[in-house]
A and B are shown apart, each in its own frame.
Chain A
Amino acid sequence: MKNENLYKYILGIADNSLILGQRMGELCGHGPSLETDIACTNISLDLFGQVRSYYQYAAKITGDGRTEDDIAMLRKEREYVNVLLVEQPNRDFAYTIGRQFLFDVYHYMFLAQLQKSHDVTLSAIAAKCIKEVSYHKRFSSDWIKRLGDGTQESRAKMQDAINGLWTYTDELFHMTDADTAMIKEGISVDVSTLKENYYQQVKSILEEAILEVPESKWFQKGGKQGIHTEHLGYLLSDLQYMQRTYPNMEW
């Protein structure tokens, strides 16, 4: 493939939205209130919309007739390069909100930079997505505050979720080979530069929510290299079920 690095770079962005969208979609029909259910589905729909734009572009780059669905549903587990954070399961609503929040803050900062990419398709996608993500960030931040500064029970649950998810945050700022290669062409975002600002923003919301900022410096990594937590395999067996069971058919 001529543009191998660009292809890989797009997957690195899109896989995050795919896996997070899938997790949010699991909740549809099971949310804590009708209104919240509808809101979470909107987030899932936004993410899948983004995924389609990215994968359609990636499919075009391969030039071998691959489709968005081939890319989304027919790779092996080790070929998905999403961060570990987004594949964490919906243990309870605090985990759902915590995962969303910790990703949204990053996602917004990332898209703000991607808008400046020299790749016009990517910068156009980013410009569209950032409005959606701006709302996601507001939604999840508001819920962090509600649950953190709500009842004793909700604070304990929210704190537990933040503590549990914290270990997956550092990976967001690791550079992959594709990232580095694309920086030279002015296409990719240097995510390592976003780190300081990210933790500042996250801390300020957590403090507003009267939650403690975890002090642990032990972080997990591997998602970007395709080495995932045990949760991803199950998510993929759902996601890929139809394409695997009935290969080469149109739906």
Chain B
Amino acid sequence: MSEEQIKNLEEQFEARIARDEKIEPKDWMPEKYRKTHIRQMSQHAHSEIVGMLPEGNWITRAPSLRRKVALLAKVQDEAGHGLYLYSACETLGISRDELYEQLHTGKAKYSSIFNYPTVTWADMGAIGWLVDGAAIINQVPLCNTSFGPYARAMIRVCKEESFHQRQGYEIMIKLASGTPEQKEMAQDALNRWWWPSLMMLGPTDAESIHTEQSMKWKLKRKSNDDLRQQFIDQTVPQADLIGLTVPDANLKWNEETGHYDFGEIDWDEFWQVVKGHGPCNKERMNARVGAWERGEWVRDAAMAHAEKKQNRKDKQAV
């Protein structure tokens, strides 16, 4: 194809997206669109899978049977969501095994927040309430993204996730209205998860590299700073309601803007964790790689068995 032809195709392609048409896997697409989508969708999938670990950490220790089944179901949903997203990636011609390889070798990234440790039961509440809350803000607009398989996966994810945040907030309500010890546990969890949750919505707009292109392709509908503001505005009243204090001395309602003003985020900490030096980066990766390696003989056995079964069937047919 000549350069001019490609340029022509690209213009038509952008026009389709601007008209709100969906792009499907077999449609022509610019190489950059394909690559950006593989990167974003796989990052999203990896985040779901790594995100199972900090919460999985408390399944065996959940304080009641009711909490245990809710947590199990939630962590299981995350496996499902990872699966939907890996499948969406695979429509672009990359296999799940290749994507795992990228994760296991550190080539692919996942959400940094999962590199923080879950040290008390209240962290299950804080993660559901804050981390899932921040994730939903990011995800709901993606139900309308331009790439069909991604949009469809996100619709399913958002539908299923509707209970996740409630699950977390309910844990926090119970703790905040419980004994002084329980309330302290809840406040401590909020103190530890608040700032990482704000960081989770991404670097400030000034430092964000992909935003403009992603906006055009509807991979992103709002800037990181706007999303962060939205998250703060909706979460602070929820903290007030249950009598917990957001750990930010500079947090103040601004009548003029109609938003909360908030303090400085420690971006050095953010970049430290992104670059692999957070409190649990190594543990998380060891857990994922370990599960994959320990599972290898199992996956091989299933394949070998399937082939044997097929051969026997073929022989019978002759």
With beta carbons under 8 angstroms apart, the residue of A29, A45, A48 that contacts B56 is: A29
Q: Give the shortest distance, in Å, between B201 (CB) and chain A (any CB).
A: 25
A110-151 contacts to B, CB under 8 A, are 145-147, 149-151
Say which one of B1-9, B57-65, B239-247 lies at the interface with A. B57-65
Are the C-beta atoms of A157 and B72 separated by less than 8 Å?
no
Q: Give the shortest distance, in Å, between B115 (CB) and chain A (any CB).
A: 15
The answer to the question of B80 belonging to the interface, with a C-beta cut-off of 8 Å to chain A, is: yes
With beta carbons under 8 angstroms apart, the residue of B63, B83, B179, B181 that contacts A38 is: B83
With beta carbons under 8 angstroms apart, the residue of A29, A72, A150 that contacts B304 is: A150
Are the C-beta atoms of A33 and B299 separated by less than 8 Å?
yes
Q: Give the shortest distance, in Å, between B252 (CB) and chain A (any CB).
A: 34
Are the C-beta atoms of A154 and B300 separated by less than 8 Å?
yes
The answer to the question of A226 belonging to the interface, with a C-beta cut-off of 8 Å to chain B, is: no
Are the C-beta atoms of A30 and B287 separated by less than 8 Å?
yes
The answer to the question of B295 belonging to the interface, with a C-beta cut-off of 8 Å to chain A, is: yes
In angstroms, Cα B305 to Cα A32, docked, is 16
Are the C-beta atoms of A41 and B79 separated by less than 8 Å?
yes
Interface of A (DSSP majority class): helix
The answer to the question of B94 belonging to the interface, with a C-beta cut-off of 8 Å to chain A, is: no
A-contact bits for B153-172, CB 8 A (1 contact / 0 none):
00000000000000000010
Are the C-beta atoms of A33 and B295 separated by less than 8 Å?
yes
The answer to the question of A188 belonging to the interface, with a C-beta cut-off of 8 Å to chain B, is: no
The answer to the question of B294 belonging to the interface, with a C-beta cut-off of 8 Å to chain A, is: yes
Are the C-beta atoms of A31 and B179 separated by less than 8 Å?
no
Hey, which chain B residues are within 8 Å of A16, CB to CB? none
Are the C-beta atoms of B297 and A25 separated by less than 8 Å?
no
With beta carbons under 8 angstroms apart, the residue of A35, A51, A73, A251 that contacts B174 is: A251
Hey, which chain A residues are within 8 Å of B277, CB to CB? none
With beta carbons under 8 angstroms apart, the residue of B60, B72, B290, B305 that contacts A149 is: B305
Indicate the member of B61, B82, B301 with the most A CB atoms within 10 Å.
B301
With beta carbons under 8 angstroms apart, the residue of B52, B121, B301, B302 that contacts A29 is: B52
Specify the chain A residue showing the minimal Cβ separation from B182: A249
In angstroms, Cα B70 to Cα A52, docked, is 13
In angstroms, Cα B290 to Cα A32, docked, is 10
With beta carbons under 8 angstroms apart, the residue of A25, A32, A153 that contacts B68 is: A25
Are the C-beta atoms of B65 and A48 separated by less than 8 Å?
yes
Are the C-beta atoms of B302 and A146 separated by less than 8 Å?
yes
Say which one of A79-87, A191-199, A236-244 lies at the interface with B. A236-244
The answer to the question of B136 belonging to the interface, with a C-beta cut-off of 8 Å to chain A, is: no
Are the C-beta atoms of A29 and B65 separated by less than 8 Å?
no
In angstroms, Cα B71 to Cα A48, docked, is 12
Q: Report, as a range, how many residues of chain A touch the other chain.
A: 35 or more
The answer to the question of A42 belonging to the interface, with a C-beta cut-off of 8 Å to chain B, is: yes
With beta carbons under 8 angstroms apart, the residue of B73, B174, B179, B298 that contacts A154 is: B298
Are the C-beta atoms of A26 and B72 separated by less than 8 Å?
no
Hey, which chain A residues are within 8 Å of B290, CB to CB? 30
B-contact bits for A91-111, CB 8 A (1 contact / 0 none):
011000000000000000000
Are the C-beta atoms of A153 and B301 separated by less than 8 Å?
yes
With A55-B65, A145-B305 as contacts: A34 and B121 at CB distance below 8 Å: no
With beta carbons under 8 angstroms apart, the residue of A45, A69, A235 that contacts B76 is: A45
The 5 closest A-B pairs by CB, nearest first: A32-B295, A150-B301, A154-B301, A242-B63, A29-B56
Residues of A within 8 A of B (CB): 22, 25-26, 28-38, 41-42, 44-45, 48-49, 51-52, 55, 68-69, 72-73, 92-93, 145-147, 149-151, 153-154, 157, 235, 238-239, 241-243, 246, 249-251
User: Assuming A34-B82, A153-B300, what are 13 further A-B pairs, CB within 8 angstroms?
Assistant: A29-B75, A29-B287, A30-B291, A32-B291, A33-B298, A33-B299, A34-B83, A41-B73, A150-B305, A151-B304, A241-B61, A249-B178, A251-B63
21 contacts between A and B (CB under 8 A): A28-B76, A29-B56, A29-B287, A30-B291, A30-B294, A31-B291, A32-B294, A34-B79, A34-B82, A41-B75, A44-B72, A45-B72, A52-B66, A55-B65, A92-B294, A93-B298, A150-B304, A151-B297, A242-B63, A242-B121, A246-B63
